[in-house]
Amino acid sequence: MKREKQAHGGVLQRLEKGDVINPKGKIPGTLSFKKLFRQFLAEEITIEDLNEKSGKRVMSRKHAAVFLAAKTASDDNEDPAVRLRHLETIMKKLDGEPLKKTDITSGGEKIGSPFDGLNIDQKAEILLILQKSKDG
């Protein structure tokens, strides 16, 4: 480990190739944040169901998040786009999104954009046209 004195009087320790920060490794039985969070989501809780006659429901936190997201998504007081985005976000984040490979056709080569050959004025004109069509 390389030590460098600093102007303020402190010492900066920089790792060099081959240095190990934690030579003993993690303590056996230590859970990762991901595992702890999954356990947290799996715990059962009781939620109040305001629109149902049952009054209360017992379910996992994970199921409660989906349940409440669905209730929020079906709330007529919310903008439909916001409701749908809310539900999609919750659903994607509960177990994570599947791996997305973006390079399926180019073999590692950069894929060009239709706008690559345009100058700044041409790009600005296209943006104005798109904005006008969006505004109606």
Tell me the per-residue pLDDT of 110-127, one tens digit each, with 9 for 90 and over.
767 777 778 888 888 888
- Going by C-alpha positions, the residue among 84, 43, 85, 35 that lies closest to residue 62 is 43
The answer to whether residue 39 scores a pLDDT higher than 90 is yes
The answer to whether residue 81 scores a pLDDT higher than 90 is no
Residue scoring higher pLDDT (102 or 57): 57
Please indicate, yes or no, whether the overall pTM of this predicted structure exceeds 0.75: no
pLDDT attached to residue 50? 56
